[in-house]
Chain A
Amino acid sequence: MTAGDAAPARGARGPIQAWDVFTNILTVGLAFVFGFPLFWAVSSALKLPIELNVIPPLWFPPAPRWRNFMEVNDVLPFFRFMGNTAVITVASTVGGVLTASLVAYGFSHFRFRGRQAIFILMLSTLMLPIEVTLIPTYLIFNELRMVDTFWPLFLPDWFGGGPFAIFLFRQFFLSIPRDLSDAAKIDGCHVMRFYRSILVPLSVPVMITLSILFFQGSWNELMRPLIYLTSMTNYTVSVGLMFLRTQILANVAQRGEPTEHLLMAGSVISMMPSLILFFVLQRYFIRGVIMSGIKG
């Protein structure tokens, strides 16, 4: 809004041009607003404590202090948290993509009684808040003695990977003609060969898209890791970052100097994998979002 204040002054050159100037300034101005916090995080992560809260603010630290990223690991085993999260993410992605594609294969290429009803039932679980099933699921994993292990965080994904993943695969598989598989139905060898040598190779883009969604889900998740992981060696990045702040605040009370550089360094580390993945696979990110937009 503030960026556009300059636009009416140009109105003399004709209404269309003034509008274009206004919207262009708005586009760039908003980019600054949205991008600024990220810039500030990186800038702060590279500062010395005395450079942190000075007036006027220091935008570019003269001597970027890369060591901050290592110091985070001295406060808490932050790189270990990264490793833990990576293990959970890979396990949930592999299980989710594999089983979702199999289930979707069943829904798309096989006729069986109640198929439509089961499919609608499956889609309707999209509306269910996980809070409703959280407590009994916790008790199940508690009975199985899996609390404080990674199992509760990825095992549920091995049962079809969730309604959206199945839906996405099914929509894609439906575009692959039935008659290709009709002949292959008689025996199991052919059923699985069709899956392996035709469906899987063709659906690589869908798999990449879904892997991104699973990755984001696992990497950002907070509530379930908070419930299930009790010992620090098992923490994920999100939980670890939260404890990093607690730890740092405790240290502040002792030393009295600002520590935002460490907190920002931790935040930057934990957002890095997502950002890198986004820049490498931007096309698939956007595709996944648009697909989720038409699932309704």
Chain B
Amino acid sequence: MIARYRSRSRVARVEELWGFLLISPWVVGFLLFTAGPMLVSLYFSFTEYAFPLKPAWIGLANYVRAFARDELFGMSLWNTLYYVGLAVPLGVCLSLMLALLLDRRISGRAVWRTIYYLPSIVPVVSATFLFLYIFQPDYGLINGWLWKLFEVEGPGWFNSRVWVKPTFILLALWSAGGPTMIILLAGLQNVPGEMYDAAKVDGAGRGRRFRHITLPLLSPTLFFVLITGLIAAFKIFGAVYVSTQGGPFYGSYFYVLHLFTQAFSHWQLGYASALAWILFVIVLVFTLIQFRFSGGWVHYEGETDNRAS
């Protein structure tokens, strides 16, 4: 008895050892590149750290500076909220529309799907340059068409303080046929066809079927793409950095651009760390709010299916 117990626990111990050994790369990486840097950056955020000088403790001064004294902080936050608030809902709606279009009996579906998907795999720098060219105010295609078709003088797009944010939103919408659409399409295809048939027999019209069957069953998926879309949109950086650099007149000066400028142009690592932590908290709060409000409208089929939670 005892011998058997011992030997089994020896096996269990060997198993445990192997388990730890196998996950050790992640553990080391987590300590080295995630947990360690997180704590260090939290510390930096309470310091004045003008690299390469040494950091000096200044308490909450960086956070006070952000909320009370840094005009660019408020501006970048407003610009980012403007962008996120429009780009994400519009993007999800457009993705849903594309997914609904593809979720029908239609010939050449693979072709349409491929065309919708392609923009999302274009590297962000290339995509931005393409849009810079097409939306060029003087000789770009869009303004040319606006003039030819409607005799309207098109706006300055990337060159206009007012229009630059909508233009970046359009750039984001161009990739609405990418991963988000594919995820929604997969969600749509999980809706059992019999439910539509039953609703049709009951005389439910297209609009009611969409509202009472499609939307509720798709809500966990919609919820997921909203959260991930929101977090991604909040971190917009590349497209702006390679084109307007935040201009004109700070019209496209987004949050991460401010952070990046503070860190790697001004080398204010303390203040930039505070900005990074504020970003982290904002993203976290948004995620939590969405989780909280999802209870009312997100429908999970069955009790056990909590994959999207």
CA distance A7 to B209 in the complex (A): 21
Query: Which residues of B lie under 8 Å from residue A60 when comparing CB positions?
Result: none
A31 touches B182 (CB 8 A): no
Q: Which of the 9-residue segments B64-72, B78-86, B109-117, B157-165 touches chain A?
A: B109-117
B121 touches A278 (CB 8 A): yes
Q: Which of the 9-residue segments A32-40, A72-80, A203-211 touches chain B?
A: A32-40
CA distance A217 to B131 in the complex (A): 22
How many residues does chain A have at the interface if contact means C-beta atoms less than 8 Å apart?
87
Nearest to B10 among chain A residues (CB) is A186
B36 touches A136 (CB 8 A): yes
Our pick among B144, B182, B272 for the contact of A286 (Cβ within 8 Å) is B182
B273 touches A135 (CB 8 A): yes
Which chain B residues (191-219) contact chain A, with CB distance < 8 Å?
A: 206
Which chain A residues (96-129) contact chain B, with CB distance < 8 Å?
A: 99, 102-103, 105-107, 110-113, 115, 118, 121-122, 125, 127-129
A27 touches B112 (CB 8 A): yes
CA distance A186 to B10 in the complex (A): 9
B177 sits at the interface (CB 8 A): yes
The 0/1 profile, CB within 8 Å of B marked 1, for residues 251-273 of chain A is 00000001010011011101100
Nearest to A242 among chain B residues (CB) is B242
A290 touches B186 (CB 8 A): yes
CA distance A121 to B31 in the complex (A): 12
Our pick among A31, A118, A191, A260 for the contact of B23 (Cβ within 8 Å) is A118
Query: Which residues of B lie under 8 Å from residue A193 when comparing CB positions?
Result: none
B44 sits at the interface (CB 8 A): yes
B18 touches A263 (CB 8 A): no
Our pick among B19, B134, B263, B307 for the contact of A110 (Cβ within 8 Å) is B19
How many residues does chain B have at the interface if contact means C-beta atoms less than 8 Å apart?
90
B237 sits at the interface (CB 8 A): yes
Query: Which residues of B lie under 8 Å from residue A149 when comparing CB positions?
Result: none
Our pick among A38, A158, A293 for the contact of B183 (Cβ within 8 Å) is A293
B297 sits at the interface (CB 8 A): no
CB distance from A110 to the nearest CB of B (A): 3
B279 sits at the interface (CB 8 A): yes
CB distance from A29 to the nearest CB of B (A): 10
Nearest to B118 among chain A residues (CB) is A38
B122 touches A274 (CB 8 A): yes
Q: Which of the 9-residue segments A62-70, A86-94, A219-227 touches chain B?
A: A219-227
Our pick among A41, A122, A158 for the contact of B130 (Cβ within 8 Å) is A41
CB distance from A182 to the nearest CB of B (A): 9
A159 touches B18 (CB 8 A): no
B14 touches A185 (CB 8 A): yes
CA distance A23 to B260 in the complex (A): 44
Nearest to A110 among chain B residues (CB) is B19
A270 touches B182 (CB 8 A): no
B19 touches A115 (CB 8 A): yes
Our pick among B122, B123, B221 for the contact of A38 (Cβ within 8 Å) is B122
CB distance from A283 to the nearest CB of B (A): 11
A133 sits at the interface (CB 8 A): yes
Query: Which residues of B lie under 8 Å from residue A9 when comparing CB positions?
Result: none
CB distance from B257 to the nearest CB of A (A): 10
Known contacts A129-B283, A222-B241; decide if A271 and B19 are in contact (CB<8 Å). Answer: no
B106 touches A242 (CB 8 A): no
B134 touches A37 (CB 8 A): yes
B33 touches A133 (CB 8 A): yes
B238 sits at the interface (CB 8 A): yes
The 0/1 profile, CB within 8 Å of B marked 1, for residues 1-36 of chain A is 000000000000000000100011011101100110
B33 touches A27 (CB 8 A): no
What are 7 pairs between A and B in contact, CB < 8 Å?
A30-B101, A38-B130, A99-B26, A103-B22, A136-B40, A289-B182, A293-B183
Closest 8 pairs (CB-CB, A-B): A159-B29, A106-B22, A110-B19, A160-B26, A293-B183, A136-B37, A112-B19, A133-B37
- Contacts A37-B134, A237-B123 known; list 13 others, CB within 8 Å: A27-B112, A40-B130, A55-B144, A127-B284, A129-B235, A131-B276, A132-B37, A133-B38, A134-B276, A159-B29, A245-B242, A258-B139, A293-B225
